[in-house]
Amino acid sequence: MEKKATREAYGKALVDIGKNELVVALDADLSGSTKSADFKKVYPNRFFNMGIAESNMVDVAAGMALSGLKPYASSFAVFVTGRAFEPIRQSICYPNLHVVLCGSHSGISVGEDGGSHQAIVDISLMRSLPNMKVIVPADYKETYAAVKASLDMEGPVYIRTSRAKSPVFTNSDNFELGKAQILKEGQDATIIACGMMSYLALEAAELLKKDNINLEVINSASVKPLDEDTVYNSAKKTGRVFTVEEHSIIDGLGSAVCEFLSEHHPVFVHKIGMEDVFGESGTKDDLFCKFGFTKEAVAQRIKDKLNG
Amino acid sequence: MDDFKNLEEISKKIRRNILIMLNKSGSGHSGGSLSIVDILVSLYFGGIMNYNAKNPNWEDRDRLVLSKGHACPALYATLAEAGYFDKELLWTLRKLGSPLQGHPDSKKLPGIEASTGSLGNGIAQAVGIALAAKVLKKKYKVFCIVGDGEMQEGLVYEALMAAGHYKLSNLIIIVDNNGLQIDGQVSDVMNVYPLKEKFEAFNFRVHEISGHVYNNIIDTLTTAKRNVISPTAVIARTVKGMGVSFMANRVEYHGVAPTDEELKKALEELK
């Protein structure tokens, strides 16, 4: 299967929506990594390098949105959501401005840079802000579709991309906010995942077939707003839910699912993610092994919980 | 000179309205609102800013961003005087449902260009508005009022760096240099001086003026509007609580509203 990094799709989509002359891109000295440099090559006059100053970049994007432009501001997920949290809150979310933020190099799959650079609370930070939409696409194709769709969304949007290459497996030509896809139907339990964990969830489900466990797998790239109907119907059908995300189990996708289900259809939910710990240096594969993000580890955990 | 007489009358009216609105709301920032009145009057009534109060979103308008958002009572009173909205609205300041929020909300009130209040964010948004003019090939100017205490926020320097880097000659920063902040004198709490050299280091053209002398303010801002080379900083020496003898230079009036008794005395002085 073809493998491509979701950040590559950000660059490509940005160039394509750049046909709209109101689109501007901003970066904080990481344009080669986030891929906003692709936009710079084609539209140098509408690209603004703001230097290593993420807070100012976000406020400048807000000012541009106030002036009628459509700003896309990118940096590593850890910086754009962490360092610039206050401008995001005050200047973008509070006045509900249409600014699209892209956090690349998310999760622990950024690898060797280590725990200081691994964004594992960015979904949590962005999800907590009123008006903010949070999108964690599963693959290159879905990222491309989401970035394109973001041009016509309202208010602030956070799109999370990854450094590492991952399988391109979705058929997401059109991205719809608040819509999840059922990747595989099943009746014994549901796995809800986002980002590159969606493919991992599919692989884990495949493994569990051997144990006669038939899982339903849902890709929920739209973490906020959550596709409540799909989550509700699946939870009702299977009665047991697992969530998998390359993020802390506190306040990420799993929490969003729990918040919804606890009120509307309380069932057993088990969250798989970073368990309130920071990552460390290592290759992506070594880190995924250590922190339990392999198909075998996920399958085993699900099996244990279902049998326990 | 007749013109300035007229401006003085307007400023008295605005100062009176600020004190009445603060008294009615029972909370808010008196001192820092009074210190920027003459700057605002110069901008809106001294022929500096191009605006159309009946068409507040006119795309070629000059913009004012009040980065020291806590001084919004002064801006609200000025906008009402300029005809942006009914003056009766002033008496709803800080009340539930009022478009006159405790700090400026661009979505709620015409004439408010940016939602500010968390210090440092306004000046950086002003940089974005000025940069947008270059993309959109617009000739509008962006004025931004910052507090001297606000100059302690690190974000301010990120914004100044970007303004200098992109040579935003359409950006005019006005520092309300009243020397006081909540906890005391700016130089005691966390010294931000010298300011002039800081702006110059970021490639700004700098003017130092009195923020209460009309010909001084208007001449300087007129010069600043003609600058096509660099952003401009106007460091305006002001008096916190200006216009009310017992509030002038008194840090105690930073974040409190006048009592009924104080209001009566103040209005007497501002007749």
Q: Give catalytic status of residue A54 as yes or no.
A: yes
Spatial distance between the Cα atoms of A38 and A104, rounded to a whole number of angstroms: 14
Residue of B105, B121, B150, B156 to mutate for A, most A C-beta atoms under 10 A = B121
Spatial distance between the Cα atoms of B144 and A7, rounded to a whole number of angstroms: 36
Antiparallel, parallel or unpaired: β A215-219 and A181-184: antiparallel
pLDDT at B270 over 60: yes
Q: Does B121 touch chain A (CB under 8 A)?
A: yes
* pLDDT tens-place string over residues A121-158: 999 999 999 999 999 999 999 999 999 999 999 999 99
Amino acid, single-letter form, for residue A231: V
Q: Does A48 touch chain B (CB under 8 A)?
A: yes
Give me the pLDDT at residue A221, please: 98
Taking CB atoms and an 8 Å limit, are B114 and A63 in contact across chains? yes
Angle (CA) B117-B118-B124 rounded to 5° is 95
Q: Name the average pLDDT for chain B.
A: 97
Give me the pLDDT at residue B2, please: 55
Q: Which of A24, A61, A91 comes nearest B115 by C-beta?
A: A91
pLDDT at A186 over 70: yes
Q: Average pLDDT of B170-189? A: 97
Give me the pLDDT at residue A126, please: 98
Q: Does B117 touch chain A (CB under 8 A)?
A: yes
* pLDDT tens-place string over residues B85-94: 999 999 999 9
Confidence of residue A308 (pLDDT cuts 50, 70, 90): confident
For residue A54, give the 3-state DSSP assignment.
helix
Q: Name the average pLDDT for chain A.
A: 98
Confidence of residue A173 (pLDDT cuts 50, 70, 90): confident
Q: What are phi and psi of B66, to 5 degrees?
A: -90, 95
What b/e string do you get for B3-22 counting C-beta neighbours within 10 Å, with b at 16 or more? eeeebeebbbebbbbbbbbb
Close Cβ partners of A204 (under 8 Å, ≥ 6 residues apart): A191, A215, A244, A295, A296, A298, A299, A302
Close Cβ partners of B196 (under 8 Å, ≥ 6 residues apart): B206, B208, B233, B235
Residues 165-184 of B with CB under 8 A from A: 165-166
This complex has an ipTM of: 0.96
Spatial distance between the Cα atoms of A183 and A268, rounded to a whole number of angstroms: 21
Q: Average pLDDT of A196-206? A: 98
Give me the pLDDT at residue A172, please: 82
Q: Does A56 touch chain B (CB under 8 A)?
A: yes
Domains located in chain A, CATH noted: 3-167 (3.40.50.970), 181-307 (3.40.50.920)
Q: Does A75 touch chain B (CB under 8 A)?
A: no
Taking CB atoms and an 8 Å limit, are B115 and A95 in contact across chains? yes
Give me the pLDDT at residue A120, please: 98
pLDDT at A61 over 80: yes
pLDDT at B269 over 90: yes
Closest-approach residue (CA) in chain A for B126: A63
Cis peptide before B194 (omega within 30 of 0): yes
Q: What are phi and psi of B177, to 5 degrees?
A: -90, 70
Give me the pLDDT at residue B114, please: 98
Q: Which of B126, B128, B166 comes nearest A61 by C-beta?
A: B128
Taking CB atoms and an 8 Å limit, are A48 and B118 in contact across chains? no
Give me the pLDDT at residue B161, please: 98
* pLDDT tens-place string over residues A215-233: 999 999 999 999 999 999 9
Catalytic residue among A2, A8, A21, A54: A54
Residue of A66, A93, A129 to mutate for B, most B C-beta atoms under 10 A = A66
For residue B262, give the 3-state DSSP assignment.
helix
Contacts of A95 in chain B (CB under 8 A): 105-107, 114-115
Taking CB atoms and an 8 Å limit, are A59 and B121 in contact across chains? yes
Contacts of B165 in chain A (CB under 8 A): 51
Give me the pLDDT at residue B4, please: 87
Distances (CA, A) of A49 to A56, A88, A141, A155: 11, 18, 27, 23
Confidence of residue B148 (pLDDT cuts 50, 70, 90): very high
Confidence of residue B155 (pLDDT cuts 50, 70, 90): very high
Q: Average pLDDT of A159-166? A: 98
Q: What is the CATH number of the domain that holds B181?
A: 3.40.50.970
Q: Which of B113, B120, B161 comes nearest A51 by C-beta?
A: B161
Task: Please give the tally of structural domains in chain B.
Answer: 1
pLDDT at B117 over 90: yes
Q: Does B126 touch chain A (CB under 8 A)?
A: yes
Evaluated on CA atoms B251, B252, B253, B256, the torsion sign reads: positive
Closest-approach residue (CA) in chain B for A24: B135
Q: Average pLDDT of A160-180? A: 96
Q: Average pLDDT of B187-214? A: 98
Q: Which of A53, A67, A69 comes nearest B161 by C-beta?
A: A53
Q: Average pLDDT of A92-119? A: 97
pLDDT at B38 over 80: yes
Distances (CA, A) of B168 to A55, A59, B1, B140, B149: 19, 16, 33, 12, 24
CA distance to partner chain A, nearest, from residue B120 (Å) = 9
Confidence of residue B107 (pLDDT cuts 50, 70, 90): very high
pLDDT at A57 over 70: yes
* pLDDT tens-place string over residues A262-291: 999 999 999 999 999 999 999 999 999 999
**For chains A and B, what is the number of CB pairs under 8 angstroms?**
103
